Amino acid sequence: MPGKTHVQTKINGEDVEFLCEPRQSLLECLRDIVGLTGSKEGCNDGNCGACTVSLDGRIVTSCLVLGVEADGAEVNTIEGVASPDGLHPIQEAFLENAALQCGICTPGFIVATKALLEQEPTPSEHRIRFWLAGNLCRCTGYDKIVRAVMDASERMAAAS
């Protein structure tokens, strides 16, 4: 078995160190080593978006990033979206718009939506659909997800 590599990173604002094999994906490291199982594996080849996390401010499918690439980087996952004050407006909007059924794709959608709304606070429906085209949902038909993102945009505007 190959030797392990030391990775020093920041996850959801906290300093985290772990040992991983060079071949292990960031998704695998988050889930099996760090214990953050909110990021989901739907395909392990970058096509479903269920493992979406933010890496140094850019969203990535964490199954296509190696764990060792997180060394010196900042990782933000679904577990860091809510605050001690409560749910993030995006999370509230997903709940109130019933934008999830089974919920397995939801963490990826919320992380991707947060990145979108931080860059573009009032995206059009088409822009939302374009941005979220890398996140698959098989339950909802996307209607309520798109509505939730539009609702979240309004909530965030109202809060700021």
Among positive and negative, which fits the CA dihedral 67, 149, 131, 13?
A: negative
How many whole angstroms separate alpha carbon 62 and alpha carbon 84? Answer: 25
Residues near another protein (CB under 8 A), total? 59
Q: Which of 72, 90 has the CB closer to another protein?
A: 90
The nearest distance, CB 72 to another protein, in angstroms, is 24
The nearest distance, CB 76 to another protein, in angstroms, is 12
The nearest distance, CB 69 to another protein, in angstroms, is 18
Q: CA neighbours within 13 Å on the CB side: how many for 142?
A: 13
Report whether 49 contacts 106 (CB < 8 A): no
Among positive and negative, which fits the CA dihedral 154, 48, 86, 117?
A: negative
Q: Is 82 exposed, middle or buried (0-12, 13-18, 19+ CB in 10 A)?
A: middle
Distance from the first to the final alpha carbon of the chain = 51
117 binds another protein (CB under 8 A): no
Q: Which stretch binds another protein (CB under 8 A): 64-72, 77-85, 114-122, 151-159?
A: 77-85
45 binds another protein (CB under 8 A): yes
91 binds another protein (CB under 8 A): yes
Binding-site member from 36, 75, 116, 156 for another protein (CB under 8 A): 36
Pattern 120-159, binding to another protein, x per CB under 8 A?
-----x--xxx-xx-xxxxxxxxxxxxx------------
Report whether 20 contacts 5 (CB < 8 A): yes
| Contacting positions for another protein (CB under 8 A) | 1, 21, 23-24, 31, 35-45, 47-48, 50, 77-79, 81-82, 87, 91, 94-98, 100-107, 110, 125, 128-130, 132-133, 135-147
